[in-house]
Each structure stands twice: as C-alpha cells, then as structure tokens.
Amino acid sequence: MDIAVFSAKPYDREYLNAANAAHHHRLQYFDVPLDVDTVGLAAGHGAVCIFVNDRADAAVLQALGRGGTKLVALRCTGFNNVDLKAAEDLGIKVVRVVDYSPNSVAEHAVALLMAINRKIHRAYNRTRDFNFSLDSLMGFDLCGKTVAVIGTGKIGRVFSKIMVGFGCDVIGYDRFPSPEFEALGARYALPGEIAERADVISLHCPLTPDTYHIIDADTLSRAKPGALLINTSRGGLIDTEAVIAALRSGQLGGLAIDVYEQEANLFFRDLSDTIITDDILQRLITFPNVIVTGHQAFLTREAVTTICATTLQSVTEFETGRALSNQISAN
C-alpha cells in the first residue's frame, strides 16, 4: 500500500524501513508535518502515517479524502489531533498504537523527577565550567514522600511501581480506577486530597475536554507549597501561565516537562539559530527550577521498534480487509 509518512525524522525512516521488511508497503517520507498547507503531498496515497503534532482536522481530512486516502495511521497513542467524527463521516478509518513501551515514558518521567529534585541540570552546567560548589543544589529524599499520579493507565502504573520501589506513598486519580494500580500498594484519592498532600504530581492521562488544563490556577493554589510537577503526557493538561505564576510565587517548587501546549511549531526541530517568538516558553526556560525536554519520552529502541511494527501491521490489516486491531472511532 502507498503510505505518505509525515513529520518523518531519521529514526522514523530507519525503524519504519526495518519494520516494512515484513509488509512490503511503499513508504514515501515527508519531513514536513501534515496540515492544510501540506496535505496535497498525500494525494494518491491510500494511507497517511502521522505523529503527535500533525493536524488531521476536518479540513485536512476532507482534502485527504479527495486525494484517495482511506486510512490515517497514528504512530503514537494520543489522538487529540484527529477529528474522529469528520473521519467517520468521510469513511476514513483511523488507527493508533495502543501499547508500545509504557516503560519508556514512565522511566523518562522518573528521570525528569530525579533531575529537577536533585538539580542535576544545574550541577551539570556548573561542573562543565569546573565549578564544584554545592550551593543551591539541595534536594529531598523521595522515600517517604507522597507522589500523586494523575492517570493510572499502563504508563501511570509503571511510574507508580517505580515510585513504590523508592518507598513513596503513591496516590492516584483516574475516572476509570484500576485494580492493578491498587495492587501495587497505591490508593486512589479525591482531587482535592491530591493537590493538598502531594510532594510530587506526575501527569499520565490523555488530553480530552475533561482533562484540558487539569492543572490550573485553582489546583496550584491548593497544592502543597514546594511541590514538583512532572508532565510527560500532553502539554494541554497544564495551564502554563498559571504554572509560571506559581513558580514565581514559590508555590510550585519545580517543573519538569517533556510536552508543551504550543509545541507544534517548536519541537522535533533544531531552532538553535532561530529567534523564538513564543514568550511563554522563553519565560519558562529562564527559571532555574524548570527542565524542558522536547517530547522525547517515547524515544527508546524498544518503543520505536514496537511503534513502527504496530503501525505497519495496522496498514496491512486494512489493505487485506481484516478487522483493525487498533481502530479508534468517534463513539
């Protein structure tokens, strides 16, 4: 099947080509993201393969349909960038990668937590200049602290298991409670209790209308002073302006994020010689107690191998008329 692969990075090409040895699809790679300006590149391709910051809204989907595309294959888990109702109306199927490596994202969240707590980023920069002063590098023991996990799906549970191993008291919140989460020795708590008790809050839920800005000014005002906030899920879970205000006041002790609400025009590219006009991100990066990584939590060999294999398997299922194992719909 002819597949137009958008937002294609070198690792996408390498791992998709390797996975394609078992499927023999015809892959055409485009470095640019899919949007209203680039959708014409997909003309004549039965499927498009997109990533987290590609746009598949109604206008783009209509153009895809006119060009003969019948399948949108997301090489990621989240699908908030796809208008599922429009796709359904147009007869375009949508598939995603339901499960790749929850360990990759959970372990990155732990790495961010350890780095922001123990000031690893600041120590690294100092020692590069042979400054071995320990001033302002004080952290705290995680053992005995309360860690709140928002979203207790597979990634949230792996993160929770690691935190339990550190000796933390793990509490969680999820609209769909998981017995596996409680089996770890963790427990569910009310949102108010999470804000008031947590020394660390880590976000692992999808971005939906219900979770948009789940961390807002009200939540932060009720948070335990000095708490750390970690986000490796979706940028829209956080009201960034409210977080900046909480960092300035000292209410929030630190922030470590791998995602950002306005990342679409920034992440996955080298902008080191560019003047960044995003004032919010500029302000965030000036804080010494903020760490930003560029949506790399998924980026392990194991995860990318599974992502590419699952994506191409879904395309093969569609091409051969089989049931789509990883289909998502508007309902």
0.85 exceeded by pTM: yes
* Range 11-25 burial, b when 16+ CB lie within 10 A, else e: ebeebbeebbeebeb
Residue carrying structure tokens 């500029």: 282
E-strand ranges in 16-165 read: 26-29, 47-50, 71-74, 93-95, 146-150
d(CA 17, CA 33): 19
Residue 88, pLDDT > 90, answer yes
Per-residue pLDDT band at 192 (split at 50, 70, 90)? confident
Task: Write the pLDDT tens digit of every residue in 271-309.
Answer: 999 999 999 999 999 999 999 999 999 999 999 999 999
As a whole number of angstroms, the distance between CA 260 and CA 308 comes to 24
- Choose among 212, 275, 196, 290: nearest CA to 244: 290
Domain boundaries, the chain: 2-100+300-328, 102-292
Sequence letter at residue 244? I
Q: Cα-Cα-Cα-Cα dihedral of 48, 51, 54, 57, to 10°?
A: 70
Contact predicate 236/213, CB 8 Å: yes
Same fold, 2-100+300-328 and 102-292: yes
Element (DSSP H or E) covering residue 304: helix 301-319
Active-site residue numbers? 234, 263, 295
Query: What top-level class would CATH report for the domain 2-100+300-328?
Result: alpha beta
Per-residue pLDDT, 191? 76
What fold does the segment set 102-292 form as a domain?
Answer: Rossmann fold (3.40.50)
Q: What is the pLDDT of residues 147-170, one digit of tens each?
A: 999 999 999 999 999 999 999 999
